[in-house]
Amino acid sequence: MDRLEAMSILLTVVEAGSLSAAGRRLGVPLATVSRKVADLELHLGTRLFNRTSRRLTPTDAGVTYIAACRRILDNVDEAERAAAGEFATPKGALVVTAPIAFGRLHLLPVIAEFLNAYREIDIRLVMVDRWIDLLEDPVDVALRIGALADSALVAIRVGTIRHVTCASPAYLAEHGTPRTLEDLRNRPCVVFQALTTGGQWKFSEESITPRTRLTVDTAEAAIDAAVAGVGITRVLCYQAAAAVRAGDLKVILEDVEPPVMPVSLVHTGERLLPLKLRAFLDFATPRVKVRLSEATCVFRQPT
């Protein structure tokens, strides 16, 4: 039995949630996956999973063994990368993830510069507006917005962002500028779904339910609609920076916005950091800081 192969299949079963899903992910027959897991259980003399018709749950012994398999395979992977020279010179492939709008506006230009400077490094940029688990998914570094939970991950702070509520000058001239949240409740709004929780906009002291005139699923659409005078919208400051700088949008109600949120580059904190990752962090950190500072300097910080 090839124990490293069996361990790798076992971890895929855990990540996929079932034997059949693991088989599809690996491109091998279900019978092969089942046999490899059974061979491991026979070799260890213990059951690794409790099986029902609907669920596959690790036993206590399985939980311990699965954790050990992860450590072993991580060590093997690290040894292979070291042997391939990944720790001697910056080369190889990196997987980077970021929120869609931030990635397009601020991280992609930095990556383009980085690739010009480091010809032996390739990057796959995954832009998604969902949380990716760096310990479970094959991602080297993630750009995260918001407070980070305590974990084994290493975070490098590159700046802060905040929510902004804004409307076009023409709209405000016609309808008046809201001075309080009570004023805002009665105004037509353009709602960006990703920044709306339970149909509400959360401010520093309370949440309100906006009078929704238009609902959109991208920040760009919310900003375009607000510029066109459809209503008041609420986005993140870097998303609205260009429109505010151009005078197409005006920020309102700054004093009631919640506190700023940190922006961080996060990685798993390996004992021996590959040079390709160290090179990327050293290159990207100061440049993202500058871009964030320039994007947010058009806004007045609430007192």
Tell me the average pLDDT across 255-274. 85
Domains in the chain: boundaries: 3-83, 92-158+265-296, 163-256
Name the H helices within 155-251.
169-175, 181-185, 219-227, 237-245
Query: What is 255-268 written as a DSSP string?
Result: GGSPPPEEEEEEE-
Domain 3-83 shares a fold with domain 163-256: no
Sequence-distant (≥ 6) Cβ neighbours of residue 45 within 8 angstroms: none
pLDDT, the chain, mean: 87
pLDDT of residue 4: 86
Q: What are residue 160's DSSP bridge partners?
A: 262
User: pLDDT exceeding 90 applies to what percent of the chain?
Assistant: 45
pLDDT of residue 263: 94
Q: CATH for 3-83, among 3.30.9.10, 1.10.10.10, 1.10.3470.10, 3.10.520.10?
A: 1.10.10.10
- Which is more confidently placed, 193 or 296? 193
* Statement: residue 222 has pLDDT above 50: yes
Q: Which CATH architecture has domain 92-158+265-296?
A: 3-Layer(aba) Sandwich (3.40)
In this prediction, residue 270 has a pLDDT band, given cuts at 50, 70 and 90, of low
pLDDT per position as a tens digit, 53-107? 667 888 988 889 998 888 888 788 777 766 666 555 788 899 999 988 889 989 9
As a whole number of Å, the end-to-end CA separation of the chain is 66
Q: How far apart are CA 24 and CA 45, in angstroms?
A: 27
pLDDT per position as a tens digit, 160-218? 999 999 999 999 999 999 999 999 988 999 999 888 888 899 998 899 999 999 999 88
Tell me the average pLDDT across 103-126. 94
In this prediction, residue 226 has a pLDDT band, given cuts at 50, 70 and 90, of very high
Q: Which CATH architecture has domain 163-256?
A: 3-Layer(aba) Sandwich (3.40)
* Statement: residue 303 has pLDDT above 50: no
